[in-house]
Structure 1
Amino acid sequence: MRIGVVFPQTEIGADAGAVRAYGQAVEELGFQHVMAFDHVVGADPEVHQGWQGPYDVRSTFHEPMVLFGYLAALTSLDLVTSIIILPQRQTALVAKQAAEVDLLSGGRLRLGVGLGWNRVEYEALGQDFTTRGRRIEEQVALLRRLWTEPSITFDGAYEKVTGAGLAPLPVQRPIPVWFGAFSPPAYRRAGRLADGWFPQMSPGPELDEAKAIVDGAAAEAGRDPATLGMEGRVSWTGSPEALADLTGRWREAGATHLAVNTMGAGLGSVDGHLTALALAAEMLGLGKG
């Protein structure tokens, strides 16, 4: 099981030096990948009365593709979006950005995609919130063709490309596409289409039920469920022992990847996040042997 970290988007601030220090330090600690969340714009609660989203206009978010272009030159970490909100973005542009990150990093990108929940953001980006579930399936098919064929013609319900292609193509052909999943339709979509998925719960009966749906959908689509990756997440609570215990449960549940999340733990500075991750790395035996 490969273990990485969740980039503390909302707490790391806008200082490029802090971003560099964080990325280089987590690699030195023995973590293998860095995962970044995606929000392009935040909603202003003073305008959107009753706003209850977890993020708003004051929440700091670095743009994942640009961030990863920066980290690709500074570290050898694998780079994971979890998740790019794909239907609110132009598909061909996502394909181009992802191909460039993959090229610059030597094939270290894993593109996690999902539907998102923020209507305000969809409006700002000129996309239809109501069709996002149907559109993402078409987008993934188009992405894979753009990454593997020098010239394509594609005429779908939402996407149209006529005799065009990307240059240069990515190192990985195609780049692995993972799905965020938190409902039965999303589980089935992941099973049918994804290279892996990100459960939104801890190991237990709920995960077992979700995984059964994913595996069943994969089998129905003629795919081997054993080839699908699964990335768990453990949040830092101040106890290395609790983190190690939950990590073991994810391993037993069949996770292929795991991310340690220090956001929301009241750690303050970049140094606070790195101190916690050093304790986590020691408890998990990273960087040894």
Structure 2
Amino acid sequence: MRIGLSLPHIGEQATTENIREFAVRAEQSGWDSLWTGDRMLYPINPRTPYPGSPDGTLNPQARRVFEHLTVMTYVAAITERVRLGVSVLILPLYNPVLLGRRIATLDQLSHGRVTLGVGLGWSEDEFDAARSPFRERGRVTEETIGALRAVWGPDPVEFSGDHHTIPASVIGPKPVQDPLPIVMGGFSPKALDRIGRLADGFTPAIVPVDGLVDMVGRVQQAAATHGREHLPTVVRANVLLTPDDSDLPEQGRRVATGSWNQIASDIHRLAAAGIEEVFFDLNYVPGATDPQNQWDVARRLYDIGRNVDACS
């Protein structure tokens, strides 16, 4: 099972120096991938609750977020081997031609190391700011995926849809990878079917391990229904350690939360379920504003993850 890390591009720990040291250190230490996330706004009076927390509020760390594709471009220039991913970019907020060119350029600059994770989004405030129709985000996402693949495909590029139109044009560069992998997140039955039908992989998060494994099975079933082969899974694990290393109740416990024993158990269960990759977001662990605290946690996770491979 491949293992990765989220970069410290969120919160007070997000600095040029921390991102650089973290990326270089991770590559030198043998991690497989580095990841960012997408956050446009921290709404003061949000119209929609955040689905990733019990009380519906965003973590205050999200008040300061370095723009993720800019961070990835920077990290591409200071690394050579580690894979670069985003999980997830809120696809309906982006113009597919501009985004397609940015991703293709990043893939060229990194010599073919990019994985593009996409999702529908949840924040009506962000959709308002981007002037994108919130209620149509599923249809916009599907159309944007088609437009992106057209942009990355042979010239002349031409695309016509309800939301995006590309006149016959030459658009370059093309990505190094053919195809450049698009992995998609989602929770609902409709979203899981969409992933099985359109995406190159699945990137779930913030659910208990049993629910996660169940969703992976439903995505694979959807892929088979649509005549497609097995889709790889990249799990985003937002690490939350209990301050005294005590166990959390198992009922409803999300992946990679609780004590070290619980987190180690989660990692082993993901590997046993055939999950291809898991990456750990350390931006919310206790003491995250101290980069050394993040790295101490990262080293322990690395030992657990590599031990899974040694035991398999």
Give the alignment's TM-score, normalised by structure 1. Answer: 0.90
Q: Figure out how many residues of one structure are paired with residues of the other and give that number.
A: 284
Structure 2's unaligned 5+ residue stretches are: 51-55, 246-258
C-alpha deviation, 1:9, in angstroms? 3.5
Q: Does 1:68 align with 2:72?
A: yes
CA distance 1:153–1:168, shift in 2 (3 Å): same
Instruction: Give aligned-pair identity as a percent.
Output: 28
Q: CA–CA distance in 1 between the matches of 2:214 and 2:160? A: 36
1:256: which partner in 2?
A: 276
Q: CA–CA distance in 2 between the matches of 1:8 and 1:153? A: 38
Q: CA–CA distance in 1 between the matches of 2:138 and 2:31? A: 33
Q: CA–CA distance in 2 between the matches of 1:253 and 1:167? A: 40
Q: CA–CA distance in 1 between the matches of 2:48 and 2:135? A: 21
Q: CA–CA distance in 2 between the matches of 1:274 and 1:127? A: 38
- CA deviations on 1:15-55 (whole Å, 9 max, x unpaired) are 2111101111122222110111101222124x879994415
Q: CA–CA distance in 1 between the matches of 2:142 and 2:236? A: 25
C-alpha deviation, 1:182, in angstroms? 1.3
Q: CA–CA distance in 1 between the matches of 2:47 and 2:194? A: 32
Alignment of 1:1-289 (within 5 A): 1-11=1-11, 13-45=13-45, 52-55=56-59, 59-75=63-79, 76-200=81-205, 201-204=207-210, 206-224=211-229, 226=230, 228-234=231-237, 235=239, 237=241, 240-267=260-287, 268-285=289-306
C-alpha deviation, 1:95, in angstroms? 0.5
Q: CA–CA distance in 1 between the matches of 2:66 and 2:39? A: 8
CA distance 1:16–1:208, shift in 2 (3 Å): closer
Q: CA–CA distance in 2 between the matches of 1:44 and 1:158? A: 29
1:147 partner letter: W
C-alpha deviation, 1:212, in angstroms? 3.1
Contact 1:25 1:274 in 2 (8 A): no
1:272 partner letter: N
Structure 1's unaligned 5+ residue stretches are: none
| Larger displacement relative to structure 2 (91-100 or 10-19) | 10-19
Q: CA–CA distance in 2 between the matches of 1:127 and 1:57? A: 25
| Larger displacement relative to structure 2 (105-114 or 29-38) | 29-38
CA distance 1:114–1:58, shift in 2 (3 Å): closer
Q: CA–CA distance in 2 between the matches of 1:120 and 1:246? A: 34
1:220 partner letter: T
Q: CA–CA distance in 2 between the matches of 1:276 and 1:241? A: 13
Contact 2:240 2:285 in 1 (8 A): yes
Output the aligned Cα RMSD. 2.4
Task: Describe the SS at the equivalent of 1:199.
Answer: coil
C-alpha deviation, 1:93, in angstroms? 1.0
- CA deviations on 1:155-213 (whole Å, 9 max, x unpaired) are 11111001123211110122100001111111000000111011232321x23432232
CA distance 1:260–1:38, shift in 2 (3 Å): same
- CA deviations on 1:68-122 (whole Å, 9 max, x unpaired) are 1100011132111100000011111110111011110010000000011111111
Q: CA–CA distance in 1 between the matches of 2:221 and 2:97? A: 31
Q: CA–CA distance in 2 between the matches of 1:266 and 1:57? A: 12
Q: CA–CA distance in 2 between the matches of 1:136 and 1:50? A: 21
1:230 partner letter: T
